[in-house]
Amino acid sequence: MIGTGRSDFPNQVNNVLAFPGIFRGALDARATHVTAEIRLAAASALAGMVPSPTAERILPSPLDRSVAPTVGKAVAAAWAG
């Protein structure tokens, strides 16, 4: 199973999936930079949004409106320590 930035593969990790939540969480937490812990928290939050992953679906849909708030909360918590 892989997640790539390529649109010709399933499980595309693109800007619309990750960045809105990362920036929302960073802004909410008043983070001054994006740390490795923040990136890991965002990735874990994304992965955790699919309760029963398969080879074809390891990431949530970018159209799922709960993605950005979920990732944002994880990012803010990671910054808070």
Using one digit for the tens of pLDDT, what is the confidence trace for 5-49?
777 777 777 778 889 999 999 999 999 999 999 999 999 999 899
What per-residue confidence (pLDDT) applies to 1?
A: 66
Could you tell me which residue, 61 or 73, shows the higher pLDDT? 73
Flag whether pLDDT at 63 surpasses 70: yes
Please report, for the chain, the start and end positions of each structural domain, with discontinuous segments joined by +: 15-80
Distances from the Cα of 79 to the Cα of 7, 36, 52, 55, angstroms: 31, 10, 28, 31
15-29 vs 67-80: helix axis angle to the nearest 10? 40
